[in-house]
Amino acid sequence: MNPLQNTGSPELVSPFSGLGLHEQIVDAVSRAGYTTPTAVQAAAIPAALLGDDLMVSSATGSGKTASFVLPTLQRLVANPGRPAPGRGPRALFLSPTRELSLQITKACETYGRTLRWLRVASVVGGMPYGAQLRALRGSLDVLIATPGRLLDLLTSGRVTLASVETFVLDEADRMLDMGFIEDIEAIANAIPRSRQTLLFSATLGGKVGDLAGNLMRTPRRIEIATPPAATKAITQRLHWADGRVHKDKLLDRLLADPTIDQAVVFTSTQRDAERLAESLQADGHAVSALHGGMPQGLRSRTLSALRQRRLRVLVATDVAARGIDVPTITHVINYGLPIQVEDYVHRIGRTGRAGRSGLAVTLAEHAEVRTIRRIERFTDAKIPVSTLEGLEPRQTHRPGSGHGEERRRGHGYRPGGPAARKQGAAHRDARPHEGYRKNATRGRQGGN
């Protein structure tokens, strides 16, 4: 036998150690229950460990968080030594929303649980400054932040980024959509050029490509062609509804399904989320609303009620629901269609988490056929149409049809419909919460 051959049982050798990760980190990954790296992890981790700048296209639920957290931890382990208290972090992760930031913070704690010395902090909008400032004054390895709050602290001299070696932009496309471009560039200018920059985004072209050109040094592009494992586990269905009353009946029937463990029902506006949660509660459901207009304390309590399974149904808007990672969500129901088609993908990604299967049901009124076709073009797949016995729609649509439908039909006002979107733009959930800080001086017009 070749003396160099590994004679240990192959099951005992984690494929994560083959990626070049330190055994303490591999140990934490195994304790998290992961046996095999996902496609994005297998491609991005070794490349990041080489020190290259990376642009990575990755979908929701693909395991991308570990793709940047693990190599960052590895760098900290390989070159120990933390900046002095108040000298800022060695790694900075920027993410668009506080929910996502808190999710990443949790991931750092999970993947870094064997590194007792590790100090992680987050600074995000909408939370009190006190605890965040205290964390910044101490010694710090990793800082997770939303751009608005971080820039606030940077310009007021309460944080320095002079020690940052690894700079990660998560969901870069989303941050740009939210109007954070100038904040991101100002933040990047405060970080030494010698840094390693890792950018993750659903798309790599257009504005994201321009941003990468400004912030990165000849980045390597990593594009994951195969759909993420988690998305494959999501079954999609479409029900056509003749109108609001029909849609409510479909929702009632769907929520009576005993196979639902927990469900997220999406609406297009905050007002719809409030109203629908109230009416479902009146029907006896364990339900709560979650939207950007709610105070942060209440949002956090709602999310922990969901995690503790005190809620069966969450009625949410897009921004508020981003980053929710609750494996017991078995169903996503699109009661109001997303305003941006890519949010469809983010929405359905709330189910089918952590290798489980999930069902994503979309309820669409006939007048919304064009939005459905846009979603199908964006995801490059038809959403199979389905009916419920006794609740069949009067009208059906041929796949691919849709031209002129919205012009011919649906002129009346419906909450969440196209007319409402125009009238009620101030109530949309499509703006970043932190936008308020800037808008506040001009007078606030509503909420997200």
**Interface residues with ligand AMP (CB under 6 A)?**
34, 36-38, 41, 61-66, 230, 325, 353-355
Cβ proximity to ligand AMP, 37 vs 112, nearer residue: 37
Query: Closest approach of Cβ 145 to ligand AMP, in Å?
Result: 18
- Cα 7 from Cα 293, distance rounded (Å): 59
Residue pair 305/314 in contact (Cβ under 8 Å)? The answer is no
Question: Which of 109, 37, 126, 106 has the alpha carbon at shortest distance from 73?
Answer: 109
Cβ proximity to ligand AMP, 110 vs 279, nearer residue: 110
Cβ proximity to ligand AMP, 263 vs 364, nearer residue: 263
Cβ proximity to ligand AMP, 34 vs 436, nearer residue: 34
- Between the alpha carbon of residue 129 and those of residues 90, 133, 134, 187, 357, the distances in Å are 21, 6, 9, 19, 39
Q: Which residues pair with 121 in a beta bridge?
A: 143
Q: Is the dihedral of CA 291, 294, 295, 301 positive or negative?
A: negative
Cβ proximity to ligand AMP, 219 vs 349, nearer residue: 349
* Sheet of 287-290, strand order: 234-241, 358-365, 329-334, 262-266, 313-316, 287-290
Ramachandran sector of residue 63 (left: φ over 0; alpha: ψ -120 to 50; beta: rest): left
Query: Closest approach of Cβ 61 to ligand AMP, in Å?
Result: 5
Query: Closest approach of Cβ 217 to ligand AMP, in Å?
Result: 25
Query: Closest approach of Cβ 96 to ligand AMP, in Å?
Result: 13
Query: Closest approach of Cβ 255 to ligand AMP, in Å?
Result: 24
Cβ proximity to ligand AMP, 34 vs 344, nearer residue: 34
Q: Degrees (nearest 5) of the Cα angle 122, 79, 109?
A: 30
Question: Which of 79, 48, 49, 300 has the alpha carbon at shortest distance from 198?
Answer: 48
Q: Is 384 helix (H, G, I), strand (E, B) or coil?
A: coil
Question: Which of 157, 108, 106 has the alpha carbon at shortest distance from 133?
Answer: 157
Q: Which residues contact 446 (CB under 8 A, 6 or more apart)?
A: 293, 426, 427
Cβ proximity to ligand AMP, 28 vs 273, nearer residue: 28
Query: Closest approach of Cβ 58 to ligand AMP, in Å?
Result: 7
Q: Is 113 helix (H, G, I), strand (E, B) or coil?
A: coil
Cβ proximity to ligand AMP, 95 vs 268, nearer residue: 95
Query: Closest approach of Cβ 14 to ligand AMP, in Å?
Result: 10
Cβ proximity to ligand AMP, 38 vs 448, nearer residue: 38
Query: Closest approach of Cβ 190 to ligand AMP, in Å?
Result: 27
Query: Closest approach of Cβ 393 to ligand AMP, in Å?
Result: 35
Question: Which of 286, 322, 319 has the alpha carbon at shortest distance from 305?
Answer: 286
Residue pair 444/409 in contact (Cβ under 8 Å)? The answer is no
Cβ proximity to ligand AMP, 323 vs 393, nearer residue: 323
Q: Which two tokens stand for residue 69?
A: 């957290």
Query: Closest approach of Cβ 35 to ligand AMP, in Å?
Result: 7
- Cα 271 from Cα 416, distance rounded (Å): 9
